[in-house]
Amino acid sequence: MWPLNRFGDNIAIIDEEGNKYSYAGLNWESDNLAANVKSGRCLIFSLCLNELGSLLGYATFINNRIVPLLLDAHLDRELLSSLIESYKPDYLWLPSSMADEFDQFDEVYSVYNYALIKTPYTKEYPIYDELALLLTTSGSTGSPKLVRQSYTNIESNTKSIVEYLDLDETERPITTLPMSYTYGLSILNTHLYVGASIILTQKTLMQKEFWQQFKDYEATSFGGVPYIYEMLDKLRFFRMNLPALRTMTQAGGKLSQELHKKFAEYALETGKKFVVMYGQTEATARMSYLPHDKSLEKCGSIGVAIPGGKFSLI
């Protein structure tokens, strides 16, 4: 799915400290991690942070047909225990700082501050051949009901987004959303697919360290839900000097007409792109987009269907 070996010495990841990791290095570590998943195709709970170990796990599992359930690493522990009991994963992939919470299980491998934990369960049930990924959605985070995505779902949606955003290996997005969230994950998917460099950070836009990383590592894009754009407006974003920034994307809820217009005008005046989108976890992230050159003219619209998709009124 993610052709890590194709991009060789291209920088895949820049972390908060400015350390850079190549696609070749990521591919090598991916092979090592996969070799330690002795169950082969199985279910793994991946507890996510916007960190290298978390992304390595996700890419490894998808590329090796191991099915991850992506969960926020800060998920309520009672809910996590309930999910483990309900779904009986073969392994947990989690921050090393959490490993002691599961000392009743066996740690079998660790890398990049993440640990692979073997549970007592081994292939408790058959897994549908096309099942690639499990995600929670806004309506199911309090219950063990999940959204299922296939390999075809993920790949076709990724290709469509790459096409309409015109992404290539020169891109350098900075993370603003959890990778366990479908929109945040789609940003990682699309940029891994084209061999771009991803700036991974746990910092939020309310922290000065985030903006320092944004400038130092020359971020070219970011994505945001309406709340993020509301905060940017209050932070006087329009006065910031961000010469490397090319593209701003928005999804995860309808942006107010006023803010949509503000950011569309800013993009027009500064030669940047502002792309508003609509999607659902069940549809693998993105379903429609408003072309950046129509952002002012069609302010408030969800735009057109992504390449290969269509909408129908019923």
Residue 310 pLDDT more than 90?
no
Q: What is the mean pLDDT of residues 155-166?
A: 96
Q: Is there a contact between 247 and 272 (Cβ–Cβ < 8 Å)? A: yes
CATH fold for domain 4-150: Rossmann fold (3.40.50)
Task: Evaluate whether 4-150 and 154-305 have a shared fold.
Answer: yes
Q: What is the mean pLDDT of residues 6-20?
A: 96
Q: For 238-257, how does the pLDDT look when each residue is reduced to its tens digit (9 = 90+)?
A: 999 999 999 999 999 999 99
The number of C-alpha atoms within 13 Å of 199 and in the hemisphere containing its C-beta is: 27
Q: What is the pLDDT of residue 144?
A: 59
Instruction: Show the tokens assigned to 119.
Output: 């549970």
Q: 260 — phi, psi (to 5°)?
A: -55, -50
- Using CA atoms, how far apart are residues 68 and 24, in angstroms rounded to an integer? 23
Q: Is there a contact between 135 and 281 (Cβ–Cβ < 8 Å)? A: yes
- Using CA atoms, how far apart are residues 237 and 270, in angstroms rounded to an integer? 13
Instruction: Show the tokens assigned to 192.
Output: 């891994």
**Average pLDDT across the chain, whole number:** 94
Q: For 35-77, how does the pLDDT look when each residue is reduced to its tens digit (9 = 90+)?
A: 999 999 999 999 999 999 999 999 999 999 999 999 999 999 9
What does the domain layout of the chain look like in residue ranges?
Answer: 4-150, 154-305
- Using CA atoms, how far apart are residues 39 and 55, in angstroms rounded to an integer? 21
Q: For 108-144, how does the pLDDT look when each residue is reduced to its tens digit (9 = 90+)?
A: 999 999 999 999 999 999 999 999 999 988 654 456 5
Q: Contacts from 34-39 at CB under 8 Å and sequence distance 24+?
A: 34/60, 34/63, 34/64, 34/66, 36/108, 36/109, 36/116, 37/61, 37/64, 37/66, 37/90, 37/91, 37/116, 38/108, 39/90, 39/91, 39/122, 39/123
Q: For 198-226, how does the pLDDT look when each residue is reduced to its tens digit (9 = 90+)?
A: 999 999 999 999 999 999 999 999 999 99
Q: Is there a contact between 94 and 115 (Cβ–Cβ < 8 Å)? A: yes
pLDDT band at 180 (very low <50, low <70, confident <90, very high): very high
pLDDT band at 165 (very low <50, low <70, confident <90, very high): very high
Q: What is the pLDDT of residue 140?
A: 46
Q: What is the pLDDT of residue 228?
A: 97
Q: What is the pLDDT of residue 142?
A: 57
| CATH superfamily assigned to domain 154-305 | ANL, N-terminal domain (3.40.50.12780)
Amino acid letter for position 88: K
Q: What is the pLDDT of residue 137?
A: 81
Distance, first Cα to last Cα, the chain: 34
**Environment class of residue 19 by beta-carbon count within 10 Å: exposed (0-12), middle (13-18) or buried (19+)?**
exposed
- Using CA atoms, how far apart are residues 267 and 130, in angstroms rounded to an integer? 40
Q: Is there a contact between 135 and 284 (Cβ–Cβ < 8 Å)? A: no
Q: What angle do CA 178, 179, 181 make, to 5 degrees?
A: 70
